[in-house]
Amino acid sequence: MPRRRLRFVVSAGPTREHLDDIRFLSSPSSGRMGFAVAAAARRAGHEVVLVAGPVSLPDPPGVRTVRVVSALDMRVAVLAAFRRADALVMTAAVSDYRPARRRAGKWKKGAARLSLPLVRNPDILAEAGRRRGRRVCVGFAVEVAAPLRAARGKIRRKHLDALCLCSPEAFSADRADYRILFPDRELERYPWIRKGAFAGRLVDLVEELAARG
């Protein structure tokens, strides 16, 4: 059977939450997983919008790549593309908090000790999940201690079809241990798999979930 051409939105990389014009809070996410998913979806014939935080990877060929910096920017770009999409794959390591205030220029040092007020960023995936209708929604989470219960809670709270759990090496290595959790079926294990290979599996999964409707 020919594949149905789907419209994918994929997010990738970290976000940067600026304290001033130079410094920021962020994470070491390389963006490689999201770029691999975007490229695999494109190769499979789908239309892809890739919303990427600051990473050093080039735009994948044939993919509309939107470059953003902060979680607030990412939210606007992802939700705009999501409106006319069939599937969202949210691999981005979105910063949960941002400094309450961004200072202009360079923040000069002063006191020996400093507290920094932070405010919560919106949860982009949860927001998309609430208005998903029949769209497919897949999330990612880095796995630490006792992850399964927390992961099942995230699937429910964010209205996901699947949540990919990865080991912490996923931030820096080309391979990692991945597991896919579902609301309604057995988990799938992909030990020490290359990100490119896992991306291919995810595209197949999204096609399957979209066909189920």
Binding residues for ligand CTP (CB under 6 A): 71, 90, 92, 94, 96, 121, 123-125, 139-141, 154
Tell me the closest approach of the beta carbon of residue 106 to ligand CTP, in angstroms: 27
CB atoms within 10 A of CB 61: 8
Tell me the closest approach of the beta carbon of residue 193 to ligand CTP, in angstroms: 18
CB atoms within 10 A of CB 12: 28
Q: Which is nearer to ligand CTP, 39 or 163 (CB)?
A: 163
Q: Where are the beta strands (DSSP E) in the chain?
A: 7-12, 17-18, 24-25, 47-52, 64-67, 87-90, 97-99, 118-120, 136-142, 162-166, 175-181, 188-194
Q: Which is nearer to ligand CTP, 139 or 200 (CB)?
A: 139
What whole-number distance in Å separates Cα of residue 58 and Cα of residue 98? 27
Q: Which is nearer to ligand CTP, 6 or 70 (CB)?
A: 70
DSSP 14: B
Tell me the closest approach of the beta carbon of residue 163 to ligand CTP, in angstroms: 7
Name the residue with tokens 């809670």. Answer: 153
Helices (H), the chain: 32-43, 71-83, 124-130, 147-157, 195-212
Tell me the closest approach of the beta carbon of residue 178 to ligand CTP, in angstroms: 13
Q: Which is nearer to ligand CTP, 71 or 176 (CB)?
A: 71
Residues in the chain: 213
Q: Which is nearer to ligand CTP, 147 or 196 (CB)?
A: 147
Tell me the closest approach of the beta carbon of residue 134 to ligand CTP, in angstroms: 20
